[in-house]
């Protein structure tokens, strides 16, 4: 089988994950709307590669328990639909709060958990003094 080569780069149809923008401040009863929107994105096949939806949390304001509740429910909704969520632009305070309550989220621009962080390894030469 042969084909004619075209000039330029090959065309690649890459699916980028859809983005669900969350804004705040949040009230505890405002959970169903974002969960329904996430479920609709995943059910329509808009979850991009691997059923991933990016949740932009940069506009949520100061994090609190309502934010933790929303993100936990979004994660559960995505898991039940066979997908997952990835956080975009979480504040350091939100990261600290999520670590405090024991919730782990994948974030954009962060190395995967199974990849070790890059470090400088120092070799020890025979005859070096012991510190």
What local confidence, expressed as pLDDT, does residue 109 receive? Answer: 66
Structure confidence by residue, pLDDT tens digits, 52-98:
888 999 888 888 888 999 999 999 999 998 889 999 989 999 999 99
Angle 40-51-31 from CA coordinates, rounded to 5°: 45
Provide the 10 A C-beta neighbour count for residue 7: 4
Structure confidence by residue, pLDDT tens digits, 27-52:
777 778 888 988 988 887 765 556 88
Domain hosting 80: range is 19-107
CA distance linking residue 41 with residue 56, whole number of Å = 14
CA distance linking residue 33 with residue 37, whole number of Å = 6
What's the CATH number where 29 sits?
A: 3.30.750.24
For the full predicted model, state whether its pTM sits above 0.75. Answer: no
**Which two tokens mark 31?**
């959970």
Report the domain count for the chain.
Answer: 1
In-domain check, residue 89: yes
In-domain check, residue 23: yes
């Amino acid at each position: 089988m042969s084909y004619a080569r075209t000039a330029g780069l090959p065309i690649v149809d890459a699916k980028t994950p859809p983005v669900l923008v969350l804004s705040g401040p949040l009230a505890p009863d405002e959970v169903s709307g974002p969960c329904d929107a996430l479920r609709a994105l995943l059910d329509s096949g808009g979850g991009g590669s691997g059923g991933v939806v990016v949740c932009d949390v940069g506009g949520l304001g100061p994090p609190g328990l309502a934010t933790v509740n929303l993100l936990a429910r979004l994660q559960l909704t995505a898991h039940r639909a066979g997908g997952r969520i990835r956080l975009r632009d979480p504040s350091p305070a939100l990261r600290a709060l999520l670590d405090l309550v024991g919730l782990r989220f994948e974030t954009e621009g962060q190395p995967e958990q199974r990849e070790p962080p890059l470090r400088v390894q120092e070799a020890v030469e025979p005859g070096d003094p012991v510190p």
